[in-house]
């Protein structure tokens, strides 16, 4: 199994310090519509976007840096205006509530996963069910890969079956976000390569 790891390059845009100034958030995200502007001005979102220290997979530290990097991938991932707008919303919201997540391992309460906090927040601003589903499920492909990698093939298969049932025709949206999200920081690329191989008959493979 390929365990290649991405070499993180922060690029020229990242600053050393982020303040809770909506203009700084706008600098990284460049909101494109009213919904995005409303999210950026929400204090709960701002608190989460400001959180984070450099760590494995996320040497960039603060969530706002990660969002910025994912958005750069989104711009390269699709020519569909609608899908791009969906991917932007998922990106802006998916990790912004990691500061609330239960840190105990093994997890004792999956309702305290950051994706559920993000989903509950997103419902204030987003009505598109496809976007809400991808926000909720955005880490599931990684969990499927991790289970397969550690030999828990039945658990991996069950996660993939749940993804197929929940996402249906929106599997491509999920896949594109998973790839945009994984090609950031210093994350290992093996989960995406594995998912592309397993799901090759159900997604359109994309290189960017």
**In this structure, what CATH number is given to the domain that contains residue 64?**
1.10.3210
For residue 26, being part of any structural domain is answered with yes
For residue 70, being part of any structural domain is answered with yes
For the segment 63-72, what is each residue's pLDDT rounded down to a tens digit?
A: 999 999 999 9
What's the pLDDT band for 150 if we cut at 50, 70, 90?
Answer: very high
Of all residues in the chain, the percent with pLDDT exceeding 70 is 90
What's the pLDDT band for 111 if we cut at 50, 70, 90?
Answer: confident
Domain that holds residue 151: 22-198
For residue 2, being part of any structural domain is answered with no
Write down the pTM of the prediction.
0.90
pLDDT at 21 > cutoff 90: no
For the segment 112-132, what is each residue's pLDDT rounded down to a tens digit?
A: 899 999 999 999 999 999 999
Neighbour tally for 184: CB within 10 Å? 21
Residue 154 half-sphere exposure toward CB, CA atoms < 13 A: 0
Counting the structural domains of the chain, the total is 1
Q: Which residues contact 27 (CB under 8 A, 6 or more apart)?
A: none
End-to-end CA distance of the chain: 21
For residue 86, being part of any structural domain is answered with yes
Neighbour tally for 81: CB within 10 Å? 8
- Separation CA 200–CA 203 (nearest Å): 6
- Separation CA 110–CA 204 (nearest Å): 31
Rounded to an integer, the average pLDDT of 73-96 is 97
For residue 33, being part of any structural domain is answered with yes
For residue 7, being part of any structural domain is answered with no
What's the pLDDT band for 110 if we cut at 50, 70, 90?
Answer: confident
**Phi, psi for 193 (deg, rounded to 5):** -60, -40
What's the pLDDT band for 188 if we cut at 50, 70, 90?
Answer: very high
Rounded to an integer, the average pLDDT of 84-104 is 94
For residue 146, being part of any structural domain is answered with yes
For residue 67, being part of any structural domain is answered with yes
């Amino acid at each position: 199994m390929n365990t290649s790891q991405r070499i993180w390059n922060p690029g020229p845009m990242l600053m050393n310090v982020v303040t809770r100034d909506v203009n700084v958030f706008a600098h990284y995200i460049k909101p494109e519509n009213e919904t995005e502007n409303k999210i950026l001005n929400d204090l709960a979102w701002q608190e989460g976007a400001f959180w984070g220290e450099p760590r494995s997979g996320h040497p960039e530290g603060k969530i706002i840096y990660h969002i910025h990097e994912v958005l750069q991938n989104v711009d390269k991932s699709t020519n569909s205006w609608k899908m791009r707008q969906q991917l932007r919303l998922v990106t802006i919201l998916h990790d912004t509530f990691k500061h609330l997540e239960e840190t105990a391992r093994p997890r004792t309460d999956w309702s305290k996963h950051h994706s559920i906090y993000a989903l509950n927040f997103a419902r204030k601003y987003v009505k598109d069910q496809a976007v809400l589903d991808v926000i909720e499920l955005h880490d599931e492909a990684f969990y499927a890969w991790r289970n397969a990698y550690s030999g828990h093939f039945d658990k991996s298969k069950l996660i993939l079956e749940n993804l197929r049932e929940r996402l249906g025709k929106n599997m491509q949206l999920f896949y594109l976000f998973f790839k945009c999200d994984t090609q950031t920081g210093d994350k290992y690329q093996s989960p995406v390569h594995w998912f592309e191989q397993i799901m090759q008959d159900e997604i359109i493979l994309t290189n960017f």
